[in-house]
Amino acid sequence: MGLILLATDLDDTLVGDDNSTQVFNGLVSRMRDQQKIKLVYITGRSPESYDQLKNERSLLEPDALVTAVGTEIFLDGKTKYDNWPMVAEWNSELIRHSLLNVPSLEEQPKTEQRQFKISYYLRNNQSSYELVKKILRHHPVDVVYSMGLYLDIVPRGVNKGSALRLLADRWHIEAEDIIACGDSANDISMLKRNKAIIVGNAKEELLRWALQAGNENIFLAKGFYAQGIIEGLAYYGV
């Protein structure tokens, strides 16, 4: 194995049990000292809300940070990469307006509304989700519904997976050396083409996807949160 790119979701994946997060930090720090690994956080949070979590949970400084479900990339954790995403057509006003009459859609706070991400709360409501997809079917967007609560609208093809690919390309790291870790539906795009670790506490929606995908590059950990990541790293021989 060459240089490993370890990409992990934060909420309910790296974060959830503080002891395991600290064990993970120790392990990854040692591997970074030996220049064996690059660590990337890929989260749905805004940069502000990420900063708060990072301080509260004593997270390591990552080699790169991806926020707002893949729509924002910070190359060293701080410097915003301006050429991302390359999107020709994105009209958030129009999108918002088209969805005004969808039942039970509730706008998330202003901090979570980003230049290329529109986010709502939608509580266990498959029919409203189907309606949103139907209304937006001619718009170049993707609709991601996770945990029966979060509904994100992003430019088509812009997601955790495509942001991760950009970083891997910049660092010349092949897919076989990329390990991605997650717990819910908005992680699927990055778990897809890489070596995947699904933590033991993963949501049903993700397990259902994993069963359908049925591929040997998906490791279903028994351990919860960061403990599951550590288990997965051992499985992949890291």
CB of residue 186 to ligand GLC, shortest distance in Å: 4
Is the distance from CB of 2 to CB of 35 less than 8 angstroms? no
Q: Quick check: 108 binds ligand GLC (CB under 6 A)?
A: yes
Of the two residues 177 and 187, which places its CB atom closer to Mg ion in the complex?
A: 187
CB of residue 107 to ligand GLC, shortest distance in Å: 10
- When CB distances are held under 5 to 8 angstroms depending on the partner's kind, the choice from ligand GLC, Mg ion, none that residue 119 binds is ligand GLC
Q: Quick check: 150 binds ligand GLC (CB under 6 A)?
A: yes
Percentage helix, strand, coil for the chain under 3-state DSSP, each rounded to 5: 40, 20, 40
Give whole-number Cα distances, 64 to 41, 61, 189, in Å: 7, 8, 18
Q: Which amino acid is at 212?
A: Q
Rounded to whole angstroms, how far apart are CA atoms 204 and 117?
A: 24
Q: Which of residues 65-104 bind ligand GLC (CB under 6 A)?
A: 69
- When CB distances are held under 5 to 8 angstroms depending on the partner's kind, the choice from ligand GLC, Mg ion, none that residue 85 binds is none
Kindly tell me which residue out of 20, 24, 44, 229 binds ligand GLC, with binding defined by CB under 6 A.
Answer: 44
Residue with tokens 């309910």: 12
Only segment of 51-59, 70-78, 145-153, 167-175 that touches ligand GLC (CB under 6 A): 145-153
**205-234 exposure pattern, b = at least 16 Cβ within 10 A, e = fewer:** bbeebbeeeeeebbbbbebbbbbbbbbbbe
Kindly tell me which residue out of 186, 189, 194, 227 binds ligand GLC, with binding defined by CB under 6 A.
Answer: 186
Kindly tell me which residue out of 7, 9, 46, 141 binds Mg ion, with binding defined by CB under 5 A.
Answer: 9
